[in-house]
Amino acid sequence: MPYVFLAFAVLAETIGTTALQASQQFTRVVPTAITIVAYAAAFYLLGIALKYFPVGIAYAIWSGLGIVFIAVIGLAVFGQKLDLPAILGMGMILAGILVIHLFSNTSPH
């Protein structure tokens, strides 16, 4: 169950950041409202996840997955390109999350 809260926190943060891009610097009302609601939900769900995860582990997973998901959405939705160093860096982020999940004793399994 702890991973469910963390996964939904990542999803909410991803929605909020996507809407932030679409808000065009808070000049569009609907994407701005989505941004506010999604970030509030993300922080609420992250707070619940912190009952089960140490803050460093939860934040590493939350922010790392958020970075990768937003980069993919930026590419697919907004046409933003990624160069090889960016792709390699995100691969290392995913590898780090995998190491935490598979080998760390501080993460619930």
Q: Which two tokens stand for residue 53?
A: 């995860």
Q: What is the pTM of this model?
A: 0.86
Helix 55-78 × helix 2-22 angle, to 10°: 40
**78: alpha, beta or left, given left = phi > 0 and alpha = psi -120 to 50?**
alpha
- pLDDT confidence band for 101 (50 / 70 / 90): confident
Question: Which tens digit of pLDDT belongs to each residue from 48-87?
Answer: 999 999 999 999 999 999 999 999 999 999 999 999 999 9
> In the prediction, which pLDDT does 31 show?
98
